[in-house]
Amino acid sequence: MTALAVISLIVNNAAAHTTKVKPSQLIRNCETGNRATCVVDGDTIRLEGQKIRIADIDTPEVRGPKCASELSLGIKATGRLMELINDGPFELQAWPGRDKDRYGRNLRVLVRDGRSLGDILFSEGLARTWSGTREPWC
């Protein structure tokens, strides 16, 4: 099965740098199965092989956490992000002023019905607003 069968990307408004994403099947954790389109952790996903960093939030690490509570919250954030993504179509909006992070990941905000999915994670206590620098979770 090709990545195109897993997810269809439709360029909605190239001038506004917005891409509409409509999953055609459940997107899973990158730990299991298809790694071309999956959820890496609470603030990083892969779509058709491209790594996307959710630009408006920071979530606890699930790889290399500094304490047990960080790992626990990171697992919850990852699971919740999978639920939000699988709830239906959403848009990828470009991050103003910067296209990629220092690791080469595309910086995007995930939006459904005018609301950032990152904001939902934040409101549920699973993320914090990205301040531009890493801060400890422990």
Burial call 89-125: b when 16+ CB within 10 Å, e when fewer: ebbbbbbeeeeeeeeebbbbbbbbeeebbbbbbbeee
Residue-level pLDDT at 134: 84
Q: Which residues contact 85 (CB under 8 A, 6 or more apart)?
A: 23, 27, 39, 45, 110, 117
Residue 22's pLDDT is 81
Take residue 52 and report the two structure tokens written for it.
């996307």
Q: Does the pLDDT of residue 14 top 50, yes or no? A: no
- Whether pTM > 0.95 for this model: the answer is no
Query: Which helix (DSSP H) or strand (DSSP E) does residue 21 occupy?
Result: strand 18-23
Judged on CB neighbours under 10 Å (0-12, 13-18, 19+), 136 is exposed
* Model confidence pLDDT, tens digit, residues 19-71: 888 877 788 999 876 788 999 999 999 998 899 999 999 999 999 999 999 99
